[in-house]
Amino acid sequence: MMEKHLISARLRAVKPSATVALSDRARTLAASGRDIISLSAGEPDFDTPAHVIRAASDAMASGFTHYTNAAGIPELREAIAEKLARENGLRVDPGREVLVLPGAKQGVAYACLAFLDDGDECLCPEPSWVSFRELVTLAGGRYIPVATRAENDFRLASGELERHVTSKSRMIILNSPTNPTGKVWSAEELEEVARVARKHDLIVLVDEIYEKILYDGRKHVSLAGLPGMAERCLTLNGFSKAFAMTGWRLGYLAGPARLIEPLLMLQQHTATCAVSFAQKGAVAALRGDSRAQDAMVEAFVRRRALLMDKLSGVPGLSVWKPEGTFYMFLDVRGSGRSSLEVSEHLLENEGLAMTPGDAFGECGQGFIRLSFAASEKTLIEAARRIDSGLRKLTGTRG
């Protein structure tokens, strides 16, 4: 007799989220009384701006607590379309080409479910955020990693993306600025992705959730704005990172109606709509002043500089300077240990939680991801613990 499984084959193929699981573990250890610093989760440590909270709480107090349009309240869809025109040079019809989501993550799930049949392939440059692979797999698709390397500044080698295209290829997922490396894709690199997508008629899911967190005068370029790309791009963004609104669970997708409409149907059947009063807060976030956002980015600039300084000279460690995001992808290959060994050692012996790099793809082996969404004081102590841990692991005296 065939063995019966409680869990579907689809879900059995999926791994837990290393980022979420490790953050939960760090929280549990801290609750048990251990002195734990957690730099594992990608979550801004700032408060949601006060005017955003006010708009949502006013909405709630006035009874705006019921279902909304499945695609999102018209006001928010308009504010999103205005934002995309103003900041990204993208023209979308707020009536048919914008979908408000209960978190950007949901948008990745919808796109995979909508556009991948069993065995269809989705290409993704790696290292990449942990959920891309698993959501492609959950949808029955084949996730095709395209490796990049720190030695090459995480740029795709020439022709590398196209080399992975087959007759089964349907979609590319691109995330710039990139979690976990902090790489920002240049206009020239994006043009190569666009060329491959156009030539092979592929959809591109472009995750721009870290677009605001850029360093050294870098400019964010939206792939959907390149010639011939608006018709095949789904631009994904959200409020978690740009406005420190992770717990609000709010994101959005924009793209041509032929790609948005199937996703709306998925939303109707799964979430119905995003949280009503959170959507009112999001309107205030997009239409209000950006002082809180500017201050947040300035703090990240200082923290990045602080860490670059404190981590220089740590034995077995080399640091790729991030161009955007609040992550650092620390290269610990010099310690002679695996990502997991280093991160377990740092958690068990130094009380410091960071995500092992191989959770972001095989080419992340030998790295660990640090999130510098923490106070300078915490980061100074974290750097001391990294130094202490790596000295012990490499047998170097302090």
283 makes contact, choosing from ligand GLU, ligand PMP, none, with CB < 5 to 8 Å by partner type, with none
- CB of residue 312 to ligand PMP, shortest distance in Å: 27
Piece of 59-67, 101-109, 137-145, 197-205 that binds ligand PMP (CB under 6 A): 101-109
Exactly one of 77, 80, 105, 273 binds ligand PMP (CB under 6 A); that residue is 105
Residue 204 in the binding site for ligand PMP (CB under 6 A) = no
Piece of 39-47, 71-79, 132-140, 385-393 that binds ligand GLU (CB under 6 A): 39-47
Residue 129 in the binding site for ligand PMP (CB under 6 A) = yes
Three-state secondary structure along the chain? CCCCCCCCHHHHCCCCCHHHHHHHHHHHHHHCCCCCEECCCCCCCCCCCHHHHHHHHHHHHCCCCCCCCCCCCHHHHHHHHHHHHHHHCCCCCCCCCEEEECCHHHHHHHHHHHHCCCCCEEEEEECCCHHHHHHHHHCCCEEEEEECCHHHCCCCCCCHHHHCCCCCEEEEEEECCCCCCCCCCCHHHHHHHHHHHHHCCCEEEEECCCCCCECCCCCCCCHHHCCCCCCCEEEEEECCCCCCCHHHCCEEEECCHHHHHHHHHHHHHHCCCCCHHHHHHHHHHHHCCCHHHHHHHHHHHHHHHHHHHHCCCCCCCEECCCCECCEEEEECHHHCCCHHHHHHHHHHHHCEECEEHHHHCHHHCCEEEEECCCCHHHHHHHHHHHHHHHHHHHCCCC
Residue nearest to ligand GLU according to CB distances in the complex: 42
175 makes contact, choosing from ligand GLU, ligand PMP, none, with CB < 5 to 8 Å by partner type, with ligand PMP
Exactly one of 71, 100, 104, 368 binds ligand PMP (CB under 6 A); that residue is 104
Exactly one of 36, 37, 38, 42 binds ligand GLU (CB under 6 A); that residue is 42
Exactly one of 238, 281, 322, 366 binds ligand PMP (CB under 6 A); that residue is 238
Residue 207 in the binding site for ligand PMP (CB under 6 A) = yes
Using the minimum distance from each CB to ligand GLU, give the nearer residue, 70 or 340. 340
Residue 267 in the binding site for ligand PMP (CB under 6 A) = no
> Residues binding ligand GLU: what is the number (CB under 6 A)?
10
Exactly one of 23, 240, 279, 371 binds ligand PMP (CB under 6 A); that residue is 240
209 makes contact, choosing from ligand GLU, ligand PMP, none, with CB < 5 to 8 Å by partner type, with ligand PMP
Exactly one of 130, 196, 245, 363 binds ligand GLU (CB under 6 A); that residue is 130
Task: Give the footprint of ligand GLU on this chain (CB under 6 A).
Answer: 17, 19-20, 41-43, 129-131, 179
Task: Give the footprint of ligand PMP on this chain (CB under 6 A).
Answer: 42, 103-105, 129, 175, 179, 207, 209, 238, 240, 246, 251
